[in-house]
């Protein structure tokens, strides 16, 4: 069918179908039933939050499902009344500081301050003490005439903040802590956790961020380990990815072939974002063309759209690697063979055997090594990083999925 004026007809059909509520590649899961394959992790987080003095640190690669897991755990703790009290979510960005993060819970107990004043007192080195308006009787006071007074506060100090928050009950989810530009602010959050834990506070923190190790997110704070339960979130299992496809398609009354399901699972390589993205594109096309099945040629069309909608950073890295190479076809083979190597790191000999298995190409080790060196562009823009002599990893762990989407689509088309 035609897409109608400016593609609006197509958009109308798609939005009426609710497919974008089922496959959500660009937003975290916020409905309990839609979180698949993370039962063990949810129960671990709930258990930790329910243990006196214990808080959660959830970390892992970009895009493995950290925010979704944290949001659903937070929601369950609230809805099932595991903890009664106040619930806050703060998503950090590069403008944030310790004081701007704790602003939300402090405001809920009536301490309201202007962040511009904090920045000013920081730059003047004045001990970060500032004046703030305090609502007497708390922000939720039922008294009709609220009484306000001005006092000195110190929201950049974990000790001061802990004194104020320790009697509060509830859970504070701090997401994307890796985005904080100053190491000191991460350390202050770790200090706050330690202080809350020491006072057996029922105000609990779930801290989430991208990292290889937990202490990257606590800036190596030494004594926080006992009270901060670290959970490394691994990539999703194939069986859970398969469930995302099957359950989502079932809701839309669409049936993908087994080959399509297996191919999407293989492309996803543990990243639910790619499962949602490819399924969304398959389902949108099926809905618009009133089809009830998805087969390999449909998948090829969907992959073209999925590549177009992929994150710019992945596209730029991939394209800049191939741009200007004399024998693009060989580089493509090496990229695809590397995308099929085990993760996160692979050796030159593993890469050579993948080249032989998949493409029947036998290249001497020194030649493969030269190709790899050409694909490591310094200053963080290349596809690969060299881990040690003869050992490599993709600089963005999602790159293998992106490469597979391009190559699978090309191979179906041929
Ligand atoms: N357990 C799950 N079941 C189904 N879909 C999931 C699950 N976890 C994550 N997703 C989907 O995967 C994608 C990425 O999830 P999410 O945003 O939670 O990852 P993240 O690790 O927080 O990413 P980032 O590192 O970019 O912050 C989203 O499309 C989300 O809907
Ligand atoms: Mg996230």
Report for 145-159, 322-336, 372-386: range of highest mean pLDDT: 322-336
What mean pLDDT is predicted for residues 49-76?
A: 96
**Domain segments of the chain: what residues?**
38-233, 237-308, 314-397
pLDDT at 150: 65
Ligand 1: nearest atom to the Cα of 29:
31
Q: What whole-number percentage of the chain has pLDDT above 70?
A: 88
Distance from the alpha carbon of residue 316 to the mean position of ligand 1, in angstroms: 22
pLDDT top residue among 380 and 260? 260
Looking at the CA of 61, name the nearest ligand: 1
- The DSSP 8-state label assigned to residue 8 in this structure reads H
What mean pLDDT is predicted for residues 66-81?
A: 97
pLDDT top residue among 321 and 80? 80
pLDDT at 127: 45
- Smallest CA separation from ligand 1 atom 29, residue: 25
User: For a pocket test of ligand 1, which of 25, 26, 28 has the largest count of ligand atoms closer than 8 A to its C-beta?
Assistant: 28
pLDDT > 80? residue 350: yes
Q: Cβ(84)–Cβ(169) under 8 Å?
A: yes
pLDDT at 32: 96
Ligand 1 pocket residue status of 397, Cβ below 6 Å: no
Q: Cβ(204)–Cβ(48) under 8 Å?
A: no
Strand order in the sheet with 130-135: 111-112, 130-135, 148-153
Distance from the alpha carbon of residue 220 to the mean position of ligand 2, in angstroms: 22
Ligand 1 pocket residue status of 208, Cβ below 6 Å: no
Q: What whole-number percentage of the chain has pLDDT above 90?
A: 68
What mean pLDDT is predicted for residues 207-223?
A: 85
pLDDT > 80? residue 56: yes
Distance from the alpha carbon of residue 70 to the mean position of ligand 2, in angstroms: 9
Distance from the alpha carbon of residue 25 to the mean position of ligand 2, in angstroms: 12
Whether omega before 86 lies within 30 degrees of 0, making that bond cis, reads no
Q: Which of 173, 216, 176, 172 is nearest to 62 (CA)?
A: 176
Give CA 299 to chain center in angstroms. 26
| Tokens of residue 59, six digits | 């970390």
pLDDT > 90? residue 289: yes
Q: Cβ(29)–Cβ(243) under 8 Å?
A: no
pLDDT at 124: 43
Q: What is the pLDDT of residues 104-139, one digit of tens each?
A: 999 999 998 876 555 444 444 444 456 666 665 544
Name the band, by pLDDT with cuts 50, 70 and 90, for residue 216. Answer: confident
Give CA 13 to chain center in angstroms. 30
First to last CA, the chain: 25
pLDDT at 135: 62
Ligand 1 pocket residue status of 25, Cβ below 6 Å: yes
- Smallest CA separation from ligand 1 atom 13, residue: 273
φ, ψ for residue 55, nearest 5 deg = -130, 170
pLDDT at 272: 97
Looking at the CA of 66, name the nearest ligand: 1
pLDDT at 411: 80
Distance from the alpha carbon of residue 63 to the mean position of ligand 2, in angstroms: 7
pLDDT > 60? residue 310: yes
Name the band, by pLDDT with cuts 50, 70 and 90, for residue 374. Answer: confident
Distance from the alpha carbon of residue 177 to the mean position of ligand 2, in angstroms: 10
Q: What is the pLDDT of residues 7-40, one digit of tens each?
A: 789 999 999 999 999 999 999 999 999 999 999 9
**What number does CATH give the domain 314-397?**
1.10.10.10
Ligand 1 pocket residue status of 134, Cβ below 6 Å: no
* Neighbour-count burial for 328-366, b at 16+ CB within 10 Å, e otherwise: eebbbbbbbbbbbbeeeebbbebbbebbeeeeeeebeee
* From 68-77, 177-186, 368-377, the region with the lowest mean pLDDT: 368-377
Strand order in the sheet with 345-347: 345-347, 391-394, 384-388
Ligand 1 pocket residue status of 376, Cβ below 6 Å: no
Q: What is the pLDDT of residues 183-204, one digit of tens each?
A: 999 999 999 999 999 999 999 9
pLDDT at 279: 98
pLDDT top residue among 242 and 343? 242
Q: What is the pLDDT of residues 30-39, one digit of tens each?
A: 999 999 999 9
Distance from the alpha carbon of residue 166 to the mean position of ligand 1, in angstroms: 32
- Smallest CA separation from ligand 1 atom 19, residue: 65
Q: What is the mean pLDDT of the chain?
A: 89
Ligand 1 pocket residue status of 24, Cβ below 6 Å: yes
pLDDT top residue among 43 and 124? 43
User: Across the strands, what pairs with 88?
Assistant: 172
| Tokens of residue 234, six digits | 């691994």
Q: DSSP string covering 339-354, please?
A: HTS-SSEEEHHHHHHH
Ligand 1: nearest atom to the Cα of 276:
29
Looking at the CA of 272, name the nearest ligand: 1
- The DSSP 8-state label assigned to residue 57 in this structure reads E
Class of domain 38-233: alpha beta
Q: DSSP string covering 111-153, please?
A: EE--HHHHHHHHHTTSTT-EEEEEETT-TT---SS--EEEEEE
What mean pLDDT is predicted for residues 172-192?
A: 95
Give CA 71 to chain center in angstroms. 12
pLDDT > 90? residue 148: no
User: What are the residues whose beta carbons fall under 8 Å from the beta carbon of 341, sequence distance 6 or more?
Assistant: 350, 351, 354
Domain 237-308: CATH architecture, name and number where available: Orthogonal Bundle (1.10)
Q: Cβ(247)–Cβ(34) under 8 Å?
A: no
DSSP 3-state assignment of 266? Answer: helix
Ligand 1 pocket residue status of 210, Cβ below 6 Å: yes
């Amino acid at each position: 069918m035609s897409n109608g004026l400016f593609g609006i007809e197509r958009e109308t059909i798609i939005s009426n179908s609710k497919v974008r509520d089922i496959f959500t590649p660009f937003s975290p899961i916020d409905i309990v039933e839609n979180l698949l394959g993370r039962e063990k992790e949810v129960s671990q987080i709930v258990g930790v939050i329910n243990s006196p003095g214990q808080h959660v640190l959830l970390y892992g690669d970009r895009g493995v499902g950290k925010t979704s897991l944290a949001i659903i755990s937070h929601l369950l703790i609230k809805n099932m009344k595991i903890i009664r009290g106040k619930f806050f979510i703060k998503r950090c960005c590069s403008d944030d500081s310790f004081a701007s993060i704790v602003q939300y819970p402090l405001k809920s107990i009536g301490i309201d301050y202007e962040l511009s004043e904090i920045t000013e007192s920081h730059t003047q080195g004045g001990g970060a003490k500032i004046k703030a308006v305090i609502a007497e009787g708390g922000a939720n006071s039922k008294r009709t005439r609220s009484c306000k007074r001005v006092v000195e506060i110190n929201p950049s100090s974990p000790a001061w903040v802990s004194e104020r928050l320790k009697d509060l009950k509830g859970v504070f989810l701090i997401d994307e802590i890796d985005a904080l530009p100053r190491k000191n602010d991460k350390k202050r959050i770790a200090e706050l956790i330690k202080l809350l834990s020491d006072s057996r506070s029922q105000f609990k923190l779930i801290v989430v961020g991208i990292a290889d190790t937990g202490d990257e997110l606590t800036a190596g704070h030494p004594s926080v380990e006992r009270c901060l339960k670290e959970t490394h979130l691994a990539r999703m299992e194939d069986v859970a990815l398969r469930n995302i496809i099957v359950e989502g398609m079932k809701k839309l009354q669409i049936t993908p072939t087994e080959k399509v399901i297996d191919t999407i699972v293989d492309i996803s390589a543990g990243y639910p974002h790619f499962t949602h993205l490819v399924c969304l594109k398959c389902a949108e096309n099926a809905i618009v063309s009133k089809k009830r099945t998805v087969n390999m040629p449909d998948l090829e069309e969907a992959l073209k759209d999925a590549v177009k909608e992929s994150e710019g950073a992945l596209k730029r890295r991939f394209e800049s690697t191939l741009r200007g190479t004399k024998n693009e076809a060989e580089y493509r083979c090496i990229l695809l063979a590397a995308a099929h190597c085990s993760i996160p790191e692979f050796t030159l000999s593993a890469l050579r055997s993948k080249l032989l298995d998949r493409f029947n190409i036998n290249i001497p080790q020194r030649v493969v090594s030269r190709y790899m060196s050409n694909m490591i562009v310094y200053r963080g823009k290349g596809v690969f990083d060299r881990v040690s002599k003869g050992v490599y990893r993709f600089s963005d762990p999602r790159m293998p999925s992106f490469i597979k989407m391009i190559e699978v689509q090309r191979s179906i088309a041929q």
